[in-house]
C-alpha cells in the first residue's frame, strides 16, 4: 500500500483527518495505520521515533525546561456502515472522525510541521484504547518503556468539542450484604428476612445527597447508585442474604482509600466488599504549562465525568486533560462526524500554544 499520508495531506489537518479515517483500524487491527504513521515520523529530522507493538512515539529533544505529551489512540470501534468517510458540507462523516482521528490528526500535523516548539513534545499514537485495558498501548508502554511517558503535562486529544475537559472522576463498585436467617415461611418468625433488611440500605441511598465539588474551576458531580440487587432462596423460604451492588462515581479530591472510607461510613453497620476501583484524576490546571494551554484555548474548562486515559497519566504524577475537535456525544455512533471548522480551530489553538512567544 502506498502511504496516503503525503506531505500535502500532512500540512492540512482536515485532509489528514480524512486520510486517517480512511485507513481501517478497528481495535487490534492497527498495524497498517501504525506503519503509515511510523514511516512519516521517521522521515522528520527533528524527531526521534520509536515503536512498541502498534504504538508509535516520536519526540523532540531540544533541551526545553518542560516536556508535554500529545496523545491519541489509533483504533476505532467496529464500523457501522460508516466506512470510508463521506463529506456533507462542513461535516466529515465516518467511523473515527470524532473519536478520535481528528485529534490524532492534530498531533501528527504538529509533529511534522513544528520543528521548534516552545516545550519539548512527545507525540503518542497508541493502539487499543477502545477495548480492555490489558491491550491499551499506554498500559503496554508504561510497563515496557516507562521513560517514554516522562512529561510535565499531557493532552489527550479525545473528543471534547473544542473545550478543555480536565481530570476525571474515580469509580468504585462494592457489594453491601444484608444478613438474615433462613426459616420456612410458615414459621417466618423463627427467621430474619434479609430482603426486608435491605430496605434500610435503600433508604440510605434514597436520602443520600451526592457532593458537587469544584476543583481548579471544574465542577465534578458525584453519584452513588444501587445498580443491582440480588436475594432470595426459594418461594417458601425466608431469605438469609441480600446483596446490593453499589456504583460510586467520586470527584478527584478523593482517592480510592477515601472513597472506600466514605462508603463504609454511609453503609455503617453492614458488611461491605469493594469489587472494583479506579482512581480519578485531579485537573492539575495550576501547573504553569496547563495555564498557558488554557490561555491558548481561551474558554473555561469543565470537569470530565467519565473515566479516561487521563487517569493513567495522573497515576504517573502527570497532570493531563482532554481536548479534541469531535463531539463526545457522537463517539461510537453510526452517524459519527466532525465539523471541519472545529478541526481548523483546534489545530490553530495547539499551534498558538506550542509556538514560541
Please list the active-site residues. 75, 129
User: Minimum distance between the CB of residue 193 and Zn ion, rounded to whole angstroms?
Assistant: 47
Using CB positions, name the residue nearest to Zn ion. Answer: 99
Q: Do residues 21 and 4 lie in contact, with contact meaning Cβ atoms separated by under 8 Å?
A: no
| Residue with smaller CB distance to Zn ion, 100 or 340 | 100
User: Minimum distance between the CB of residue 55 and Zn ion, rounded to whole angstroms?
Assistant: 15
Counting other chains too, the contacts that 32-41 makes at CB distance below 8 Å and 24 or more residues apart are 32/1, 33/74, 34/74, 34/125, 34/127, 36/3, 36/4, 36/5, 37/5, 37/74, 37/108, 37/125, 39/3, 39/5, 40/3, 40/5, 40/10, 40/108, 40/112, 41/108, 41/111, 41/112, 41/123
User: Minimum distance between the CB of residue 96 and Zn ion, rounded to whole angstroms?
Assistant: 9
| Residue with smaller CB distance to Zn ion, 57 or 100 | 100
| Residue with smaller CB distance to Zn ion, 72 or 280 | 72
d(CA 295, CA 291): 6
User: Minimum distance between the CB of residue 290 and Zn ion, rounded to whole angstroms?
Assistant: 21
Q: What is the CA radius of gyration of the chain?
A: 24
Cis omega (within 30 of 0) on the bond before 84? Answer: yes
Q: Do residues 48 and 120 lie in contact, with contact meaning Cβ atoms separated by under 8 Å?
A: no
Q: Which residues bind Zn ion (CB under 5 A)?
A: 99-100, 158
User: Minimum distance between the CB of residue 169 and Zn ion, rounded to whole angstroms?
Assistant: 17
Give the DSSP H/E element, type plus range, for residue 41: helix 31-42
| Residue with smaller CB distance to Zn ion, 98 or 171 | 98
Distance of CA 160 to the CA centre of its chain: 11
- Write the CA distances from 56 to 48, 146, 287, 335, integer angstroms: 11, 14, 27, 29
| Residue with smaller CB distance to Zn ion, 70 or 259 | 70
d(CA 301, CA 317): 20
| Residue with smaller CB distance to Zn ion, 92 or 174 | 92
User: Minimum distance between the CB of residue 325 and Zn ion, rounded to whole angstroms?
Assistant: 12
Q: Do residues 195 and 232 lie in contact, with contact meaning Cβ atoms separated by under 8 Å?
A: yes
Amino acid at each position: 500500500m502506498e502511504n496516503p499520508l503525503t506531505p500535502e495531506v500532512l500540512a492540512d489537518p482536515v485532509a489528514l483527518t480524512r486520510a486517517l479515517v480512511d485507513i481501517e483500524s478497528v481495535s487490534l487491527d492497527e498495524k497498517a495505520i501504525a506503519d503509515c504513521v511510523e514511516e512519516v515520523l521517521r522521515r522528520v529530522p527533528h524527531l526521534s521515533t520509536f515503536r512498541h507493538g502498534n504504538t508509535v512515539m516520536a519526540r523532540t529533544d531540544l533541551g526545553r525546561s518542560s516536556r508535554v505529551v500529545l496523545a491519541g489512540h489509533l483504533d476505532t470501534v467496529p464500523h457501522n456502515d460508516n466506512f470510508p468517510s463521506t463529506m456533507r458540507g462542513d461535516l466529515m462523516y465516518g467511523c473515527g472522525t470524532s473519536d478520535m482521528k481528528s485529534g490524532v490528526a492534530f498531533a501528527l500535523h504538529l509533529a511534522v510541521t513544528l520543528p521548534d516548539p516552545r516545550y519539548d513534545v512527545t507525540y503518542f499514537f497508541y493502539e487499543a484504547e477502545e477495548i480492555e485495558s490489558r491491550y491499551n498501548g499506554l498500559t503496554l508502554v508504561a510497563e515496557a518503556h516507562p521513560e517514554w511517558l516522562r512529561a510535565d503535562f499531557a493532552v489527550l486529544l479525545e473528543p471534547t468539542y473544542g473545550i478543555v475537559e480536565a481530570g476525571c472522576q474515580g469509580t468504585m463498585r462494592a457489594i453491601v450484604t444484608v444478613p438474615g436467617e433462613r426459616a420456612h415461611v410458615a414459621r417466618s418468625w423463627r427467621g430474619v428476612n434479609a430482603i426486608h433488611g435491605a430496605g434500610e440500605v435503600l433508604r440510605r441511598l434514597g436520602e443520600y445527597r451526592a457532593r458537587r465539588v469544584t476543583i481548579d474551576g471544574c465542577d465534578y458531580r458525584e453519584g452513588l447508585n444501587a445498580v443491582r440487587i440480588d436475594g432470595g432462596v426459594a418461594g417458601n423460604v425466608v431469605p438469609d442474604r441480600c446483596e446490593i451492588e453499589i456504583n460510586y462515581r467520586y470527584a478527584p479530591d478523593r482517592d480510592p482509600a477515601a472513597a472506600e472510607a466514605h462508603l463504609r461510613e454511609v453503609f455503617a453497620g453492614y458488611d461491605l466488599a469493594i469489587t472494583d476501583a479506579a482512581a480519578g484524576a485531579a485537573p492539575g490546571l495550576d501547573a504553569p504549562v496547563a495555564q498557558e494551554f488554557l490561555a491558548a484555548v481561551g474558554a473555561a474548562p469543565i470537569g470530565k465525568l467519565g473515566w479516561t486515559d487521563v487517569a493513567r497519566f495522573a497515576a504517573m504524577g502527570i497532570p493531563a486533560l482532554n481536548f479534541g475537535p469531535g463531539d463526545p456525544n457522537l463517539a461510537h455512533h453510526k452517524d459519527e462526524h466532525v465539523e471541519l471548522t472545529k478541526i481548523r480551530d483546534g489545530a490553530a489553538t495547539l499551534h498558538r500554544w506550542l509556538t514560541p512567544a
